Amino acid sequence: MSAADDASGTHGPLYGVRVIELAGKGPSQFGAMVLADLGADVIRVDRPTEVDRPMGFYDPRLDLLNRGRRSIALDLSSPDGVDTVLALVTTADAVVVPFRPGVADRLGIGSSDCLRVNPDVVYAGVTGWGADGPDAQRAGHDINFLAANGVLDMIGRADGPPVPPLNLVGDFGGGGMLLAVAILAGIHASRGGSGGQVVDVSMLEASSLLTTVVHSLKAMGDWGPRGTNLLDTGAPYYDVYRTRDDKYMSVGAMERKFYLELLSALDLGDDPMMVAAHHDRSLWAAAKDRLTEAFAVSTRDEWEQVFRGRDACVEAIRTVDEAASHPQVKARNLYPSIFGVSQPAPVPRYSVTPLTVKRPPPKTGEHADEILAELAEFDRRTAYDAR
């Protein structure tokens, strides 16, 4: 822990855990953010110079995925840079490595190098395809991994192509979140006496884990082609509908009591076909047409008022900018201004060890002097203890 963290008086549940994050994007960045949000001291080892950024303009102070970290810039192709990384590893509980298989080994900061200087460290490598296999060295992004493992084909309508779910599934919900969980489990095992180990997290595998429910439905014979199923817009009561003002309402009235409440709100409760469509798949297309007609009569905001007091699992679809005005979002302060920038609040909420964002995203190398001073102090203490 840094002196600044110790003096703040606000400690998340991971206070006392240190993670060295070798700079990367996507899953490694998100996983490290989650750990920092939870209170870990995450030191990000950045490159001294910027790498290619396909989106053009870049301000490190607005890269919210880097929030809560300290940054040191090191040239990993130089002996001094490698030595500093290994020195940091001696102080850490875990290392996050975002490189393709073999790259860290060639640099001299591979798993054997890190476990040699710290036998208890958790060495977590996160890749697209996994650490081995015929495609381990191939380039790829979220959309490619979802294409290969069958996830992407599940998302979309029956009469259209697969729809990329941004990069929320492979990069973040799969790779990044599982990376954070894997590191915590590895630290728990290490502190329990097992010692350090290598953790292999891939977006290919992590995103496939999220489809366990689909494989369950498939095994039961209850999953067909894209857009014909309960959860993929096949069912009339699990879909989105256009309103009169060209906005949308979301409907998730899967259970019968919610479905009947939906029909009641739309004045369709006396329609035998609509009632029967809840359990009769042959009526789904006709029921969807009827719901499409019904929602087109009023505006989104008018429908929001209709359903506000009803338990029908219907919610107006808001833009990112509009979401901040949702009553529940406001009550929970979901998008606070942190260091002057609106962003998602750190979650979950703890009653005794509340989460805070300790610092804004750092400038590259911003905390180098502080980190190096801590390393020198660590070396002095270690030398003294060895006497």
Tokens of 45: 């080892």
Specify whether 141 is catalytic: yes
Is position 215 within any domain?
A: no
Domain check: are 29 and 155 in the same one? yes
Give the range of the structural domain holding residue 302, as residue numbers without chain letter: 238-331
Q: Check 5, 37, 142, 171 and give the catalytic one.
A: 171
Tokens of 62: 């607005």
Task: Report which residue type is found at 113.
Answer: D
Domain check: are 202 and 163 in the same one? yes
| H or E element at residue 370 | helix 368-386
Domain check: are 327 and 361 in the same one? no
- List all residues 6 or more positions away from 246 whose beta carbon is below 8 Å from its beta carbon: none
Distance (Å, whole) CA 335 – CA 344: 5
Domain check: are 157 and 242 in the same one? no
Is position 229 within any domain?
A: no
Pairing of strands 337-338, 41-46: unpaired
Domain check: are 44 and 128 in the same one? yes
Distance (Å, whole) CA 382 – CA 35: 26
Q: Determine the distance from the C-alpha atom of residue 306 to the mean position of all C-alpha atoms in its chain, rounded to a whole number.
A: 34
Is position 352 within any domain?
A: no
Domain check: are 83 and 151 in the same one? yes
Q: End of a domain among 315, 331, 347?
A: 331
Domain check: are 168 and 280 in the same one? no
**Coil, strand, or helix at residue 198?**
strand
Q: Check 63, 135, 141, 271 and give the catalytic one.
A: 141
Is position 67 within any domain?
A: yes
In this predicted structure, what is the pLDDT of residue 296? 99
- Name the DSSP letter for residue 193: I
260: CATH: 3.30.1540.10
Beta bridge partners of 198: 123
Distance set, CA 40 to CA 16, 43, 332, 335, 343 (Å): 7, 9, 24, 22, 20
Is position 349 within any domain?
A: no
Is position 271 within any domain?
A: yes
Q: What is the DSSP string of 241-288?
A: EE-TTS-EEEEE--SHHHHHHHHHHTT-TT-HHHHHTTT-GGGHHHHH
In this predicted structure, what is the pLDDT of residue 378? 83
- With tokens 């509980």, the residue in question is 93
Domain count, the chain: 2
Beta bridge partners of 45: 22, 72
Domain check: are 9 and 151 in the same one? yes
Per-residue pLDDT tens over the stretch 243-257: 999 999 999 999 999
Domain check: are 185 and 256 in the same one? no
Beta bridge partners of 20: 43, 95
Is position 303 within any domain?
A: yes
Distance (Å, whole) CA 272 – CA 267: 12
Is position 157 within any domain?
A: yes
In this predicted structure, what is the pLDDT of residue 354? 97
Tokens of 315: 């919610």
Per-residue pLDDT tens over the stretch 91-125: 999 999 999 999 999 999 999 999 999 999 999 99
> How confident is the prediction along the chain (387 residues), in pLDDT tens digits per residue?
554 455 445 789 999 999 999 999 999 999 999 999 999 999 999 999 865 566 666 788 999 999 999 999 999 999 999 999 999 999 999 999 999 999 999 999 999 999 999 999 999 999 999 999 999 999 999 999 999 999 999 999 999 999 999 999 999 999 999 999 999 999 999 999 999 999 999 999 999 999 999 999 999 999 999 999 999 999 999 999 999 999 999 999 999 999 999 999 999 999 999 999 999 999 999 999 999 999 999 999 999 999 999 999 999 999 999 999 999 999 999 999 999 999 999 999 999 999 999 999 999 999 999 999 999 998 777 765 654
Specify whether 11 is catalytic: no
Per-residue pLDDT tens over the stretch 50-81: 655 666 667 889 999 999 999 999 999 999 99
Distance (Å, whole) CA 259 – CA 269: 9
Domain check: are 111 and 255 in the same one? no
Domain check: are 184 and 246 in the same one? no
Domain check: are 286 and 142 in the same one? no
Distance (Å, whole) CA 148 – CA 130: 13
123: CATH: 3.40.50.10540
- With tokens 């192709």, the residue in question is 77
